[in-house]
Amino acid sequence: MSVFAAIWGWFAALDPRIWQAIIAGIFLAFGWIVNGMQNRRVAARFRKEKLRDAHRAIFAEIAPNLANLWDETALDDHAATLIAQMEEDPNFLPFIPKERNDRLFSAIQQEIWILPRVTIDPVVMYYVILDAVDSLTDDMRGDSFAALPQDRRIAIYRDYIEMRKQLLISGRIANHLISIYARDGKKAAEEEAARLAPYSGQPLPSSLTVDRSAT
């Protein structure tokens, strides 16, 4: 007798109630598998929607602030004018506006984990620099700054302008990678991030195709 025939004979001899239990177990297990697959699809779709909403919110918050920051040349020209006035007049104090703009980021900060690594790093970097600029702005609007000699105030103001340029660069990169991710997917965004990595914190050369009008 073959092994197959022996096994078949054993199954055939089983009590019908045992067969019913086996069949019910098979259907139950199949239901678990199907339900698990459906739950995973729903969870993946929900995560994708949350990611898209988070990217949109961050992009929308960064974009107008980049417009307010002008560009590197405009910042340098503005700084040169004010520094010239400060050097000419020891009592001249530049007006430093408050530019904090992170309400949307603060609202979704508890769910920042939803962002992929390729965008979370530049986004967090942008808001870290924004916080530093905001803290320095508070200092420069206070009495302690006004009490400093003009040469110290000029040095601090130069630092302030450099930090604003860093904020501009980090914001452009963050929104640029968000745009790439939304349009072309994660892999394309990772490739673009690798291409931009050597220029982190440095002025972006014109040969790089960063759409500054969009970001």
Residue 209 above 60 pLDDT?
no
Residue 132 above 80 pLDDT?
yes
% of residues, the chain, pLDDT over 70: 73
Domain contains 9: no
Domain contains 172: yes
Number of domains in the chain: 1
Residue 67 above 50 pLDDT?
yes
CA distance 167 to 109: 19
> Lowest-pLDDT range, 162-166, 187-191, 208-212?
208-212
Domain contains 1: no
Domain contains 125: yes
Domain contains 136: yes
pLDDT of residue 125: 92
Domain contains 40: no
Domain contains 32: no
Distances (CA, A) of 88 to 81, 82, 183: 11, 10, 51
CA distance 207 to 192: 13
CA distance 206 to 210: 8
Contact assessment for residue 157 and residue 145, using Cβ atoms and an 8 Å cutoff: no
Note the pTM of the prediction, 2 decimals: 0.75
Domain contains 37: no
pLDDT of residue 44: 63
Q: Could you read off the pLDDT of 92-131 as tens digits, one per residue? A: 999 898 877 788 888 888 888 899 999 999 999 999 999 9
Range of the domain at 193: 54-199
pLDDT of residue 211: 47
DSSP string, 108-126: HGGGGGGS-HHHHHHHHHH
Q: Out of 7-21, 60-74, 100-114, 143-157, give the one with best mean pLDDT.
A: 143-157
- Give every CB contact of residue 207 below 8 A, 6+ residues apart in sequence: none
